[in-house]
A and B are shown apart, each in its own frame.
Chain A
Amino acid sequence: MKNNNTWFWLFLAPVMLALFFVVILPLIFGIYYSFTDWNGIIATRFVGIKNYINVFQSTTFLNALWFTTKFAVVAIIMENVIGLALAMLVTQKFKGRHLLRTVFFMPNLIGGLILGFIWQFIFIKAFAAVGNVIGVSALESWLATPGTGFWGMIILMSWQYAGYIMVIYIAYLENVDHELIEAAEIDGASAWQRFLHITIPMIAPAFTINVFLTLSNSFKLYDQNLSLTAGGPYDSTQMLAMDIYNTAFSQNNMALGQSKAVVFFLIVAIISLTQVYYSKKREVEV
C-alpha cells in the first residue's frame, strides 16, 4: 500500500509542479502585490487594505461590475436559448443537417478580436446604410450610445458562442432514449409536454456545463469587448477585465489593478461554484 502511494505522487509530480509554478505561485504573488504599492517595477511598502478600499470606491470598477453582471445575465439566456434551439433543429431528421451543424459552429472558429472588428463594421457601416435605405433611424449610430453598445455585445457573443453551446446540447439530445419519448407519445403527451417533462430533465447535465461555460466566459470577456467598443462610448460598455487592464497598464496603477483582479477572481469563483453546485443537484440519474 505504501508503495502504491509513492507511485501515486511520483506520477502526479510533473502536473503538480507545473500547476504550482504557473498557477498557484503567480496567484500568491498577485495577492501579495495587492497589499503593496507595487508599480510594476518595484514594491516599496506595505499599504494594508488601502487598495481594496479604493477598489470599492472606484466608480469605473463598480460601473464595470454592474455592466458585466447585466451582460452576463442576458448573454447566458440568449446563448443557451439560441444554442438549444439550433441543437433541436439540427437533430431533426432532414437533409443538410450536418452541413447546418458546421455552419452554425463556424463563427466559433474565428478569433474574438477579428469578430469584434467584423461586427464593428456591420454595426457602424452596414446598419447605417440599411437604415438609410429603408428609413429606420434606429439602425443608425449603433455603438455610439450605451444601449446599442450593450446590445451590440450581446448580438456578437450570441452569434459566436451559440454554435459552440449547440454542439454540447446535440451530444446530450442524441443520447435521450427514444423509447421514453415514444412511450410518452402513446400515453398522449403533446410535443410541448414531451419536451418539458422528458427531454429537459434528460439533458440537465448539458445545462450545468453550458451555463457554467457561458457564465465564466461572459465574466472574463475581454477581446470582443476591446475590438467592438473598446469600452466606449464614454466607458459605458467597459467590462471588468478591461477595467482591470486599464487600471494596471494605462493608468499605471499596478497594485490597484491587482486588487481589482483579486476581487474579480473571488466573484467569478463564488458565482461559478455556486452555480455548478445547484445545477448538479437538479440533474436526474437514469
Chain B
Amino acid sequence: MKKKWLMAVISLLLVVALTACSGSGSSGSKKVTINIFQYKVEFKKQFSQLAKEYEKTHPNVTVTITTVGGGSDYGAALKSKFASGNEPTIYNIGGPSDVKDWKGKLADLSGTKTAKLALPGTLNGVTEGSKVYGLPYNEEGYGILYNKKIFAKAGIDPASITSLAALESVSKKLNDKKAALGLKAVYALPAKETWVTGLHSSNVFLSPEFNQDVTKAFKSKTVSFKYGKQFKQYLDIQQKYSVQPTASLDYSAQVEQYFSNGKVAMIQQGDWVSPTIIGINKKFENSGIGLLPIPVDGFKTDSIPVGVPMYWAVNSNKSAQEIKAAKDFLNWMYTSNTGKKMVLEDFQFIPAYKGYDTSKIKDSLARQIYDYAQKKKTIGWVFMGYPTGWGMNTLGVDIQKYTSGKMSWDALVKDSQNAWKTSRNQ
C-alpha cells in the first residue's frame, strides 16, 4: 500500500515540477532589461557585439537579443511571443499593415533624436498623424545587377539602357553571343521565389500609380496596373532570355550558381546579395558588378527602388522606465559616435539617417545604391502596402502561371485586381 502512495505522489510531483520550471522571479531594483526580438539573421553577431558595447557604458541596462529570421516566420514567432505573455521590449514591424495589427502595443517614437534624424520619406510607412511608431533599420535597394566584364567583352555600354526596348536589344545581342561569352543564358529569372517577382519586380511598376507612397497603396481599395504593359514587357524579356525552367529556379541558383560564376549576364537583385557573392568570388563582388535601373517607360527610366526593409518598434505595454531605456538604446545605436561607426562598418548598413560619413561604406553595391539615393534617382517602395500575402501568394503565383504559359497576361491582371479588392473589402 505504502508503495502505491509513494508512486502516486511521485508522479504528481513530476507534473508539478514540469510546470514549475516556467516560472521565474522578477527583480525590483533599478536595473532594466531590454528584450529585443528581431528578424535580421545576417547581422546577429555584430548586433550582439553592439549590445555588449552598450552594456559596458550603461551598467544598469541588460540587453538580451532573440533572433528569428525570415519574413513570414518572424511574424508568426512574434505573435506567439506576445501570446506567451513574455512580451519583448523592442520588436520589428514592416509597414502600415503591421502598424494596424500591433496598434495598442506601439510606443510613439516621434520625440526621439533618431526619428528627427531619419532621412526624408523613410518614416512614411510608420507615421500616423504626428505619431511615429517605427525607426528604420537601414536602407536597401535593388535593380538589375550586371556582370561588367561580360558587358565589356560584348561591347555593350550599360549607359545606353534607358528604355525597355534598349534592354531588349541588349539582351538579344548578348543572347546571340552566348557561346563566345561562356553564358548559359542572359538572365536567371527566379520565378520560384515569389518575393522577387511578386514584390520586387511588381513594386517598380505599381509604385507610380500610388505616387510612390506606401501609405497610399495601403489605403487603396483597388489596383489599376496602370503600367501593366511595361511590367509585362519587362517580365517577357527576362523569361525569354532566362535559364529554363524558371518555375523551379530559386534564389541560390540565381545568385550563386549562375550569376557569381559568370553563367548569366544579368539578374534582378539588391545589395543583400553581397555577403553571398563575397563568399564565392570576392574580387567579382568588389569590382565586377554594376547596377542598372529597371526602366519604366513613361515614368522613370534612370532610377532604382530604394526603401526601408524593416523598422524598430518599442512595446508600449512596458513600464515607463523600460520604454525610456529602449528609446535610449535605439538613440545610442544610431546617433552616438560608437553606434554610428558600428552601424556603418560592422553592420554594413546603408544608413537611413543624417550625419553619417558615407565615404566609409565599403560594399560596392551599397555604394552604388547610396549614389543613386544621393542623386534622388529613386523609386519608392510600396510593396509593404500591398494587402497581406497579395504580392507573393497572388501576384507571384500568377506570374509563375504566366511564365509557364498557363495564364494569359489579361487573366493575371484581372485575378490580381480581384484579389486586391476582395482583401481590402473584408
B-binding residues in A (CB < 8 A): 7, 10-11, 13-14, 17-18, 39-41, 124, 141-145, 230, 232-235, 246, 248-253
Contact = CB atoms under 8 A, between A and B. Distances in A.
A233 B393 contact: no
B355 interface: no
Interface in B1-26: 4, 7-8, 11-12, 14-15
B367 to A, nearest CB: 34
B286 interface: no
Given A141-B245, A144-B245, A232 B192 contact: yes
Contacts of A14: 11-12, 14-15
Given A234-B404, A246-B389, A250-B392, 13 more contacts: A7-B8, A14-B11, A14-B15, A41-B79, A141-B245, A143-B247, A145-B404, A235-B393, A249-B72, A249-B73, A250-B388, A250-B393, A252-B389
B389 A234 contact: no
A232 B388 CA distance: 20
Contacts of A10: 8
Given A234-B404, A251-B393, A11 B15 contact: no
Contact of A234 (B73, B244, B245, B398): B398
B2 to A, nearest CB: 13
A158 B400 CA distance: 28
A234 B72 contact: no
A145 B8 contact: no
Interface in B194-250: 244-248
B8 A246 contact: no
Given A14-B15, A144-B247, A234 B76 contact: no
B404 A233 contact: yes
Contacts of A233: 191-192, 247-248, 400-401, 404
A40 B78 CA distance: 10
Nearest to B388: A252
A11 B393 contact: no
Contacts of B72: 249-250
B401 A234 contact: yes
A13 B12 contact: yes
Given A230-B192, A249-B75, A39 B101 contact: yes
A144 B105 CA distance: 43
A17 B75 contact: no
Contacts of A124: 248
18 contacts: A7-B8, A11-B7, A141-B248, A142-B248, A143-B247, A144-B245, A144-B404, A232-B400, A233-B191, A234-B398, A234-B401, A234-B404, A249-B73, A249-B75, A250-B389, A252-B101, A252-B388, A252-B389
A10 B14 CA distance: 14
B174 interface: no
A41 B102 contact: yes
Contact of A41 (B14, B101, B247, B389): B101
Contact of B389 (A11, A13, A40, A251): A251
Given A233-B192, A250-B72, A251-B393, A141 B8 contact: no
B397 interface: yes
B141 to A, nearest CB: 24
Tell me which of A145, A230, A232 has the highest count of chain B C-beta atoms within 10 A of its own C-beta: A232
B45 interface: no
A122 B246 CA distance: 17
Interface of B: 4, 7-8, 11-12, 14-15, 71-73, 75-76, 79, 82-83, 97, 101-102, 105, 191-192, 244-248, 388-389, 392-393, 397-398, 400-401, 404, 406
A8 to B, nearest CB: 11
A234 B194 CA distance: 9
Nearest to A21: B19
A250 B191 CA distance: 18
Contacts of A40: 76, 79, 83
A251 B388 contact: yes
A232 to B, nearest CB: 5
Nearest to A13: B12
Given A13-B12, A233-B404, A246 B244 contact: no
A39 B73 CA distance: 15
A253 B387 CA distance: 11
A102 to B, nearest CB: 33
Q: Which 7 residue pairs are nearest across A and B when measured between Cβ atoms?
A: A251-B389, A144-B245, A233-B247, A234-B400, A141-B245, A144-B247, A144-B248
A253 B76 CA distance: 11
A235 B397 contact: yes
A212 B209 CA distance: 54
A111 B391 CA distance: 31
B75 A232 contact: no
Nearest to A3: B1
A7 B389 contact: no
Contacts of B401: 233-234
Nearest to B8: A10
A41 B255 CA distance: 37
Nearest to A252: B388
Contacts of B7: 11
B21 to A, nearest CB: 14
Contacts of A232: 192, 247-248, 400
Contacts of B244: 141
Contacts of A7: 4, 8
B16 to A, nearest CB: 10
A13 B16 CA distance: 12
A17 B15 contact: yes
